[in-house]
Amino acid sequence: MLRLFLPVVLLLTLCANSLAQTSSTVEVLYVAGPQGTSSVSLHTYNVNLQTAVATQLGSAIPVHRGSIDPLTIGTSHYIYLWNSNNVWLYPTNANGVPTTIPSQHLYFAFGRNVNSFLVNPNGKFAYAAMAWGSYPNNYASIVLFTIDQSTGKLTNTHQVVASYSHPYIGFTTFLFGSQGGKLFARWLDDGPHTGAIGFDYYPVNQTTGQLGKLQSLFYAQTFECQTSCDVTVTGALSAADGVCCGPGSGSIEISHNSGGPNFGCGASDQTFCGDDVGGLAIDPANTNLFFADATVNETVIGNIDFTTSKLTPSGSTIPGIPSVYFSPDSRLVYAVNSNDIGIYSLHTSTGALTANTTLPDSGTVNIATATLHN
């Protein structure tokens, strides 16, 4: 079955600038779990860039089940914990440790469940996104919130700033670029006999919070090898079906939205580009593509050069096809497995993983990351 990455924060942007590293930089990892229980706890960790070792900060606090979205406004730090119907705001200290009691609780009351709530890194706006339906009717709707710059508190404007419908392609989650200029929508093509994962984006007006026209960015697709094969890639494959959708059936297409040429990658270019796609992610520095290879059950890292339109294997891989997350400065990678969280130091200019550790977890967890400069 086709498996998607579920990053809370993917942070894509093709014009991101590297964040300056200083002695006061704090790399923060938030872990909330076990999800689906009545005793969810939120843990805060500081992660060492060189060793990838996570050290807990403060004590865990009891929270409701949900996902986490961090935000920095000036010298103030916040986290928003949200689920399908609610959002809670927690101020944090300089190291990212939240208060034990939220400073705000909002009930969405949209009539549909929220599947993505995200704050713009500029600290001015937030968005609640709802996506529903499946082939042949996929829909999505995005509602605008404003953020009080002095407190981090939210106000629902009740403005629907984007609506979407498509028979084959449905949005699954939404996320922001590191500068807040693009709101990304991750999609799945679940039409008959297709299997593709990709990202589109809405340009964001940083003054009003309004969203512009939807634009394409990149995708990976698994092609059928025989015209007579009528199994959809998203369904369970039998041994016979695997002949139709096996090694060599995939490709990656990248749209260079800054004006450069588009480029792709297939089996004739790199081995991993031609295998079955199980997931897709790109780091915030826009230099490395993480391709979950369902054929060999590992995640391959390819270094992207937009100047020459080339994708080159880095030589590093992550076992399996876990959900992958990044620190905002791209220097740490997190792989959420069934029993632990893999933590990796990433050399952004090459895609090489230079150190790794694991952090045990029990049950299903949600994570988020922050890079704090104090």
13-22, 67-76, 274-283, 356-365: least confidently modelled range: 13-22
Per-residue confidence (pLDDT) for residue 8, from 0 to 100: 35
Neighbours of 160 (CB within 10 A): 12
Per-residue confidence (pLDDT) for residue 236, from 0 to 100: 34
CB 139 within 8 A of CB 117: no
Confidence of residue 230 (pLDDT cuts 50, 70, 90): very low
Beta bridge mates, 221: 196, 251
CB 327 within 8 A of CB 345: no
For 12-63, write each residue's pLDDT tens digit.
333 333 333 435 789 999 999 999 888 999 999 999 999 999 999 999 999 9
177: tokens are 């670029």
Which backbone phi and psi does 322 adopt, to 5 degrees? -75, 170
Return all residues near 84 (Cβ < 8 A) that are at least 6 apart.
108, 113, 114, 115
Give the residue, 189 or 124, on which the prediction is more confident: 124
Per-residue confidence (pLDDT) for residue 259, from 0 to 100: 57
Spell out the CATH class of 25-373. Answer: mainly beta
Beta bridge mates, 202: 183
For 122-155, write each residue's pLDDT tens digit.
999 999 999 999 888 999 999 999 999 999 999 9
Q: How high is the mean pLDDT of the chain?
A: 83
Q: How far apart (Å, rounded) are the C-alpha atoms in residues 300 and 281?
A: 11
170: tokens are 């449905």
pTM: 0.85
Per-residue confidence (pLDDT) for residue 258, from 0 to 100: 53
Per-residue confidence (pLDDT) for residue 243, from 0 to 100: 36
Q: How far apart (Å, rounded) are the C-alpha atoms in residues 336 and 341?
A: 5
10 Å CB burial of residue 48 (0-12, 13-18, 19+) is: middle
Per-residue confidence (pLDDT) for residue 46, from 0 to 100: 97
Q: How far apart (Å, rounded) are the C-alpha atoms in residues 221 and 274?
A: 9
For 78-90, write each residue's pLDDT tens digit.
999 999 999 999 9
User: Which is nearest to 188 in space by CA: 238, 257, 131, 111?
Assistant: 131
Give the residue, 228 or 264, on which the prediction is more confident: 264
Quick one: CA dihedral 165, 115, 191, 281, positive or negative? positive
Q: How many residues does the chain have?
A: 374
Per-residue confidence (pLDDT) for residue 189, from 0 to 100: 82
Q: Where are the domains of the chain?
A: 25-373
How far are the Cα atoms of 5, 132, 249, 251 from residue 271, in angstroms, in the given order? Answer: 21, 35, 11, 10
SS3 273: helix
Express the helix, strand and coil content of the chain in percent, nearest 5 each: 0, 50, 45
83-87, 229-233, 250-254: least confidently modelled range: 229-233
For 281-339, write each residue's pLDDT tens digit.
888 888 898 988 877 889 999 998 877 878 889 999 999 999 999 999 999 999 999 89
Per-residue confidence (pLDDT) for residue 5, from 0 to 100: 39
Cis bond before residue 34 (omega within 30° of 0) = yes
